[in-house]
Structure 1
Amino acid sequence: MEVMKSAGGHIKIILKEISVKDSESFYRLYFGDESAIQDQTTDEGHMNPVQFTEHILSLCEELYSIRTVENENIVIGDCALHHWNQEKKKIEIGGSLLPEYWGKGIMSAAFELLIALAKEKYQVNVLVAKTEITNLKALKFAKKLGFQKMSNEGDIIILEKRAL
């Protein structure tokens, strides 16, 4: 299992490859606490934590949990590379972080590690980020990282960054 640690910055993070063993903590990022997990697993219209994790893993080239060095047993977010277009050397990047960790440089550190991986492992020329028009924090974050708006697909804004 691959583990990456950030080198600089005021907050140090760990990216750890997500596997089915992480399904409950990964699922909790998107659907909340234990009671929500039990509610979701009994409802036939929703996936249980293992099914959800397997589904997301099937869509990603790389999927990592985000943890702090100070508390590496707690999953506070995730980040991923997905929709790899080998011909165009483009890959999408995305992630989520629990709100209590916003504004601390954690996602910037995670994306820095992931972008380095994308350049090294996939030799990407272009990174793509997508977010909803209404997600102003994500848009501001993407622009801060050097992504530029390219187009819209309905309520989704598509941003790109050249990987140099």
Structure 2
Amino acid sequence: MEFQVLKTERLELVQVSKKHTESYFDIMSRDEVTKYYGMDSLKTIEDAESMIESMHNTFENNKGMRWAILLQNTETFVGTVGLNNLNLRGKKAEIGYELHPLYWNKGITTEAVKEVLRFSFEELQLFRLGAVTYPQNEPSIYLLQRLGFKNEGLLRGYLYQNQQNHDACAFSLLRTEWKQASR
């Protein structure tokens, strides 16, 4: 499978690469970003390099895709959006995202996620997209619900972060629901 570059009105979604390492580290080393991410904040630039290498390996093994979210006019790296636990045969994946705090509440994540939903359902022909988030992560829950995701319930002790287990809310969106909502 070839990595697809996606474009929206304001954004270009490209494969995360080594040239994004410092920007990615800047985002993922911030506790306010990782607070509800399900992993501890990155501590070193090498951690960011390892994460980006892992994203490439995951893509090469058809297990996921991660796009850098770039502002079209400046090519500024503002975050990532991606498919985790991709199962092409089973026609399902989970969506995840994070954004630099300077760009919160500007509709950027919504715009990026909408395009990844379109790509996932139309081009990859997935049937189900899941999402997992902390019950306390109200902005993410609001975004998912606005895009038509349904809350499937609580996954007890599902996420491990900061040396303890945390509950998570499970959401899903089916292609049939997406088609109906995007009319």
Indicate the TM-score class for this superposition, using the shorter chain for normalisation. Answer: 0.7 to 0.9
Alignment match, 1:118: 120
Q: Which amino acid letter does the alignment assign opposite residue 70 of structure 1? A: N
Identity across aligned pairs (percent)? 24
8 Å contact 1:27–1:52 — kept in the other structure?
no
Q: Which amino acid letter does the alignment assign opposite residue 13 of structure 2? A: L
Gaps (5+ residues) in structure 2? Answer: 31-40, 157-166, 177-183
Larger displacement relative to structure 2 (60-69 or 154-163): 60-69
Counterpart pick for 1:40 among 21, 40, 44? 44
Alignment match, 1:104: 106
The 3-state SS of whatever aligns with 2:70 is: strand
Q: Which amino acid letter does the alignment assign opposite residue 128 of structure 1? A: G
Question: Within 5 A, what are the aligned runs for 1:1-164?
Answer: 2-7=4-9, 12-32=10-30, 40=44, 47-59=46-58, 61-72=64-75, 74-154=76-156, 155-164=167-176
> 2:57 and 2:154 mapped to 1: Cα distance?
26
Gaps (5+ residues) in structure 1? Answer: 42-46
8 Å contact 1:64–1:78 — kept in the other structure?
yes
> 1:162 and 1:106 mapped to 2: Cα distance?
23
The size of the alignment, in residue pairs, is 150
* TM-score, reference length from structure 2: 0.73
How far has the Cα of 1:2 moved from its partner? Answer: 4.2
> 1:133 and 1:94 mapped to 2: Cα distance?
15
How far has the Cα of 1:57 moved from its partner? Answer: 3.5
How far has the Cα of 1:104 moved from its partner? Answer: 1.3
Q: Which amino acid letter does the alignment assign opposite residue 53 of structure 1? A: I
> 1:75 and 1:148 mapped to 2: Cα distance?
30
Q: Which amino acid letter does the alignment assign opposite residue 75 of structure 1? A: F
How far has the Cα of 1:40 moved from its partner? Answer: 2.1
